Structure 1
Amino acid sequence: MKGKKIQLVIATANLLPGGAERVLSFLATEIDKEQFEVTIVVFGHERDVSYDLKGVNTVFFGRDRVMHGIFDFLKFLKRHKPDIVLTAIGHLNTLAAYASWFFPKTKFVAREVNVLSVLDTFTDRKLNYLKLFTKNRFRFFDAIICQSDDMKEDLKKSYSFNYDKMVVINNPITDGFKVKEQLPPMKPVALITVGRLAKEKGYDRLLNVLSRLDLPFHYTMIGRGPEKENIFRLIDDYKLGDKITHIEYTAEIPDYLRKSHIYLQGAYVEGFPNAVIESASVGTPVLAFDAPGGINEIIEDGINGYRVFSAEDYLKTLKSICLDYTFVPELVSASVNKKYNKDIIIQRFEALFLKLCTVNDG
């Protein structure tokens, strides 16, 4: 790779609002352009772009599904012969794994986004004739990026491949999540959750807790997803409608987090929760149910939040925080920025890619 830039292709199904899409877009814009020539390949449509790509070369296939863009992807790789291809999310990782057979000089890197064995318990699985291909996909990658230690251990238990190919690279704190300058008034207590409205996100247990919280509060939910109808049915059942604001999408998430006192994390499983580190970054502590996917790596009890193990403990801890709020925004922010700031995380991506290309040269 001496004397020329490394040709890096970052492939994604779409650029709609989402954690994986945001991290990939951020990586494309922030990676060292003196060493890398980056192209984002999007299977979906240009109209769906939700992120500022700051002049990054972007190619759209205009397909509604990844399967419909298979030949577009193969033709693109044949034409451009990139040094590295980075993909994320299961079905696209599966496609890239088998595409690697036809491009032996290209290094293929998978970025996994979930603790798969746990996520499967929340997903309706239809008969899948490609299951064998999915099961074996990690064997064909040159590197597999895990977002958390939990994810790495889960892949070891669930899949058979060369585990030396795995590397843990957490999600970065992206731009805009600056620490709040002052604490907002505590009456009512401002609670917030940002995330997809899906079964695995645990809104059911958060709403159950809130239905028993006998203190003045207002809860803001930001996100959209397939469980919206069921979640709002629960809100009605618990008679919480006048205490909850729902926002499907906003570009002002940092401001909403700064105006909140406590972030409520209810998920049963995560990959590595962006919203949790972003909340802490602005100085808003997190009350989280223990769950696989990085929670145990992020939360420092009493410093940036608490990790609890039952609904009763969640309610008890939430009441305690509301009645005696001792968190210092600057300390909450420092606890995550020292580990997940963008410079640290981007350098880890760069180091991995440079190592792969060194192997390629050899």
Structure 2
Amino acid sequence: MKILVLANFGMGLYNFRKELLKELIKHNNEVYISLPNDDEYVPKLKNLGSKFVETHLDRRGTNPIKDLKLLLNYIKILTRIKPDVVLTYTIKPNVYGGLACRITKTPYITNITGLGTSIENKGIIQKITLRLYKAGLKKASCIFFQNETNLKFFCEKNMVNSKARVVPGSGVNLNHHPLEEYPSENESNNFLFIGRMMKDKGIEELLKAAKIVKEKYFNTQFDLIGGCEEDYYQQLAELNKSGIINYHSQQNDVHSFIKNSHATILPSYHEGTANVLLESASSGRPVLASRVPGCIETFDEDVSGLGFEVRNVDSLVEAIIKFINLPYSQKKAMGIAGRKKMEKEYDRRIVINAYLEEINNLVGRNEYEFIRENC
């Protein structure tokens, strides 16, 4: 069987979905990956056994001519490969890949990885995006949502005409992110942020909060990891030089940073399900996150993490200081509680089995057995 995967970014595909790809490849399927040619993760995905299809895609652009070219390119790819099923992730592959599948009458399964800025911000862009999304989702065999709030939003907008189900984000590989020993009580409080340096990730609130906290708690450390997608280079450099933060840019290995941290902070404005929170909790680290869908589900308040109000520096500062002043034993216990939550609710096998079940339904036979061992 031929399976085509449409995505816009190799890093997410490799880091969060390689176990699904490996499972599909293990069953002697031809798995094709559609990505831009300059994506650094293409060689890694090919090494898994997948076949690469070059696709020109502007992840954040809104040029209608380029988007029309993307649609035509997808139709060309589908016509050439003739896949039995297509898996789509993120907005543009979901929309234009879905439209291409409708035109070519190809079965497809869509994953709503989050609403995104174009939908979160009300206005003409939101209206256009919703219309396109509705067209792209119309004939999907199944639509996976990563939280109940996103599913409810799409239903209220009358955008769900297909089977829909909620999965726990991308899940977390419990073996790749094992429970780590908690850092020593005598060390400073090390907070970790992992994500793109952009407004919607709450980077502005985090930088302001770091300044305030460092004035009172000198032994507190803020480590930031991630590529800079918006114009924060100068600000990051200045704060790094002054010792307010430690900016490490993009890193291939985030687990070592998680291991050395006392807690992870994510002040994001919106998420599907925040992978960084899953990986941190799986490693036994408490999480501090904004109370928005995609974050609030990943921790239990005062048990495995602390929440704060989104876009609110004062609330973020309050949560950070509250955590700093917690007894060491309670911080450690929060990390262990987070690990247990991941084992029970967010094991990546849950997501993989959901895909295998839907593909089984599409092909009309039990092509795949559910996986029961850890990934």
TM normalised by structure 1 equals: 0.83
Alpha-carbon separation, structure 1, partners of 2:43 and 2:23: 13
**Distance between the aligned counterparts of 2:4 and 2:120, measured in 1?**
29
Quote how far apart the aligned CAs of 1:126 are: 10
Percent identity over the alignment? 18
Question: Matched residues in 2 for 1:267 and 1:206: separation?
Answer: 10
- 2:291 maps to 1:290: yes
State the partner residue of 1:7: 2
Contact 2:113–2:145, Cα closer than 8 Å, also in 1? yes
Partner residue in 2 for 1:23: 16
Paired residue for 1:166? 164
Letter in 1 for 2:211: S
SS of aligned partner of 1:173: coil
Secondary structure in structure 2 of the residue aligned to 1:243: coil
Measured after TM superposition, the shift of residue 131 of structure 1 is 7.2
Partner of 1:44: 36
Instruction: List per-residue Cα deviations over 1:134-188 (Å, max 9, x = no partner).
Output: 44222122211111112111212334332x5211122121352111134245532
Q: Distance in 2 between matches of 1:22 and 1:51?
A: 13
Q: Deviations over 1:239-294 (max 9, x none)?
A: 983131112211220110010001111011111100011011111110112112x2
- How many Å apart are 1:60 and its aligned residue? 2.7
- Structure 1 segment 1-362 matched on structure 2, within 5 A: 6-15=1-10, 17=11, 19=12, 22-31=15-24, 33-34=26-27, 37-45=29-37, 48-49=40-41, 52-53=44-45, 54-61=47-54, 63=56, 65=58, 67=67, 68=69, 70-104=71-105, 106-116=106-116, 119-121=119-121, 125=125, 132-162=131-161, 164-170=162-168, 171-174=170-173, 176-213=176-213, 214-215=216-217, 216-229=219-232, 232-233=234-235, 236=238, 241-292=242-293, 294-309=294-309, 311-323=313-325, 324-325=327-328, 326-327=330-331, 328=333, 329-358=335-364
Cα distance between partner residues in 1 of 2:71 and 2:37: 15
Equivalent residues of 1:202, 1:268 under 8 A apart = yes
**d(CA) in 1 for partners of 2:316, 2:126:** 35
Alpha-carbon separation, structure 1, partners of 2:123 and 2:19: 28
Structure 1 unaligned blocks of 5 or more:
1-5
What do residues 26-72 of structure 1 show as CA deviations (whole Å, max 9, x unaligned)? 421244733x6141322311652167334322223263547455445
Q: Against the structure 1 CA distance between its residues 46 and 117, is the aligned structure 2 distance closer, same or farther, given a 3 Å change threshold? A: closer
Contact 1:28 1:38 in 2 (8 A): no
Judging changes above 3 Å, is the alpha-carbon distance between structure 1 residues 103 and 118 closer, same or farther for their aligned structure 2 residues?
closer
- Report how many residues are paired: 346
Letter of the 1:59 partner, please give it. F
**TM-score normalised according to structure 2 size:** 0.81
Give 1:226's aligned amino acid. E
4+ runs deviating over 4 angstroms:
64-72, 116-119, 122-128
Q: Indicate the residue corresponding to 1:3 in structure 2.
A: none
* CA offsets 1:74-122 (integer angstroms, 9 cap, x no match): 3332233222101112122222222123333x31111112124785329
